Amino acid sequence: MCGIVGYMGESKIKRILLDGLKELEYRGYDSAGFALMQNGRIEAYKAVGKLDNLIHKTEAVQSSGFGVGIAHTRWATHGKPTELNAHPHQGRFSHVVHNGIIENYTELKKKLQSEGARFLSQTDTEVIVHLYEQLAERHKDSAKAFEETVKQLEGAYAILLIDERCEDRIFFAKKGSPLQIGLGESGRFFASSDAALVGLCHEAIYLEDGCWGWVSPESLNLFEGESPVSPVAKAIPPTLHSAQKEGFRFFMEKEIYEQAQVLGDTLMGRLQEDRVHLEEIDRTLLDGVEALRLCACGTSYHAALASTYLFERLSRMEARVEIASEFRYRDPVLKSSELFVVISQSGETADTLEALKMAKRAGLKTLAICNVDNSSIVREADATLLTRAGIEKGVASTKAFATQMMVLWLLSLLIAQRHKTLDPALLAQEIAAMRHAPQVLQVPEKLHDRIHRLSKRYLHGHGFFFIGRDLFYPLALEGALKLKEISYLHAEGYPAGEMKHGPIALADSELFTIALLPGTLLKEKMRSNVEELIARDSTTLAIGPECFDLADDYLPTQPTDHPMLEFYEMMVVMQLLALEISIRLGNDVDMPRNLAKSVTVE
């Protein structure tokens, strides 16, 4: 959801900014731009669409010697993705890039306009630069002007601002959107995420909300409100490397194939013979916990939903799920006996982060299940279980989901151990299935070929229903989400038993049903539901271990005695199906239209 990069130093500024944006492009790709300041003059460049357009447009741009630069890749919130709305936004002598939303921009804009400011864009961001310039003229002190500007902004922001009148400074501010300052040998760096700092610096300052300041070649000036604070640098995780496609057509494809390996990483050190051991969880975290309240968005929400079946069945613990954007504006009844569990791949999702803060204010203990160490959610939560999926670049989440499910399964067994809800033989069976899970995530070439061939029959129609029961209902939701995210075809996930209460009215040969038919859970019930749809001529693709003759198409999974193994295998089949359909439709699988990987606005 917008990516920000900044640099001050003597290396090739344009290269550093564009390379940084490349790493952050998954956060938004409606437009991109950068501004370079050398010898007291700022030049800005912008292009609509993917970053490549900006790269081509600025091939001739060069910089040498000391300079500063700020750059941005945008996911449009206020105003269409046009060049005028692309960042950086400019005033008469300064430029700004911003990630987040300025909630009081309408009133600020009116006031500034009435005082003579000329706005060029429809964005909320532009108020920042005009407000700053007005205050800079008034105070004749750029730091004071920046401080006053930040004080007047409401909403969420990560901001970088440069000013021709102080050519060796980058001003920054952070509230609610991520921002880090990288400390490198060749200068100071700014980025919305570690990914853009790798290879440039070993340490970064992860800014807290409410922080602002400026960097110059000699100093780093950091404040919280009016008080100076000492910057604390942390090492950038050594395992973080810039992701490459490694021969795959898309990052999403590579990430599907990586799942077997990363699931092994998720399990590493967390299984001890016949027990689960999660050293990140202090014994006291679960003391007095009688129920779980899980909260997330998007794919992470589906992982939360699926996990409730595990918590109930294995841990005999009540588990309730909340969509973060709904939870925030309700007046939820929260009990101190509930553990509040947030699930987030990025650790930056604005709604999930705010929900977490709400739960903390209400006195609940909190646990984050997250893929990004040092992210805002990780820093806010009392405890964290990292999913260890590695960088996920495809906007449609795959390996992050697989590892979230594994962590949630581990947690359900940890609680089961504590509450003795599973006898030792059953616990041992669970752990054996867990150890086997990475194997079922391996993608057989034959299966991928078959899905590729089959996909050509599913490129049209008036809609898809992904149906399942029990654990496989949230999986159906996730299958439908994957397809709609990258194919732009209408798809819905539904509990199979509910189809007859309305949606079956849509059934005809142009309605595609993707039916999850596991061998381990509610097999016969599920078959009946599918037959009801087939009787109404819905074109049906069955996925499961037993061939289903009545269906139009069938994709096999391995017979097994554990539902989670079927869950994982079906998950891969649906991911590949969505991928192949999207490729045939000629879409950009990794950067689907209108979406962004990390949603840092509410």
Binding site for ligand G6P (CB under 6 A): 297-300, 344-346, 349, 352, 395, 397, 595, 597-599
The token duo for 184 is: 């490198």
The token duo for 367 is: 């646990």
Q: Is the bond preceding residue 88 a cis peptide, omega within 30 degrees?
A: yes
In order, the DSSP letters of 475-499 are: HHHHHHHHHHHHH---EEEEEGGGG
Q: Which CB, 298 or 438, lies closer to ligand G6P?
A: 298
Q: Which CB, 42 or 350, lies closer to ligand G6P?
A: 350
Q: How far is the CB of 400 from ligand G6P (least distance, A)?
A: 7
Cα distance between residue 600 and residue 176, in whole Å: 8
Cα distance between residue 248 and residue 598, in whole Å: 23
Burial (CB count <10 Å: 0-12, 13-18, 19+), residue 456: exposed
For the stretch 488-524, what's the b/e string if a residue is b when 16 or more beta carbons lie within 10 angstroms of its beta carbon?
Answer: ebebbbbbbbebeeebbebbeeebbbbbbbbebbbee
Q: Is 246 helix (H, G, I), strand (E, B) or coil?
A: coil
Q: Which CB, 300 or 374, lies closer to ligand G6P?
A: 300
Residue facing ligand G6P at closest CB distance: 298
Q: How far is the CB of 595 from ligand G6P (least distance, A)?
A: 5
Q: Spell out where 185-299 has E strands.
A: 187-191, 203-206, 211-215, 220-224, 227-228, 234-235, 271-272, 275-276, 291-296
The count of other CB atoms within 10 Å of the CB of residue 92 is 12
Q: Which CB, 58 or 99, lies closer to ligand G6P?
A: 99
Burial (CB count <10 Å: 0-12, 13-18, 19+), residue 288: exposed
Cα distance between residue 602 and residue 600, in whole Å: 7
Q: How far is the CB of 597 from ligand G6P (least distance, A)?
A: 5
Q: Which CB, 376 or 417, lies closer to ligand G6P?
A: 376
Sign of CA dihedral 52, 55, 56, 57: positive
Q: Which CB, 58 or 344, lies closer to ligand G6P?
A: 344
Whether 2 is catalytic:
yes
**Considering 2, 201, 211, 370, which one is annotated as catalytic?**
2
**Considering 365, 393, 484, 597, which one is annotated as catalytic?**
597
Whether 80 is catalytic:
no
Q: How far is the CB of 537 from ligand G6P (least distance, A)?
A: 34
Q: How far is the CB of 365 from ligand G6P (least distance, A)?
A: 20
Q: Is 362 helix (H, G, I), strand (E, B) or coil?
A: coil
Q: How far is the CB of 195 from ligand G6P (least distance, A)?
A: 14
Q: How far is the CB of 397 from ligand G6P (least distance, A)?
A: 4
Q: Which CB, 63 or 349, lies closer to ligand G6P?
A: 349
Residue pair 289/366 in contact by the 8 Å Cβ criterion: no
Q: Which CB, 379 or 418, lies closer to ligand G6P?
A: 379
Q: Which CB, 170 or 395, lies closer to ligand G6P?
A: 395
Residue pair 159/173 in contact by the 8 Å Cβ criterion: yes
Residue with tokens 């809800």: 421
Sign of CA dihedral 297, 299, 304, 305: positive
Cα distance between residue 125 and residue 122, in whole Å: 9
Write the single-letter amino acid at 239: T
The phi, psi pair for 292, rounded to 5°, reads -115, 140
Q: How far is the CB of 324 from ligand G6P (least distance, A)?
A: 8
Q: How far is the CB of 325 from ligand G6P (least distance, A)?
A: 10
Residue pair 94/164 in contact by the 8 Å Cβ criterion: yes
CA angle 187, 191, 195 (to 5 degrees): 105
Q: Which CB, 163 or 351, lies closer to ligand G6P?
A: 351
Cα distance between residue 183 and residue 234, in whole Å: 10
Q: How far is the CB of 255 from ligand G6P (least distance, A)?
A: 12
Q: Please list the active-site residues.
A: 2, 597
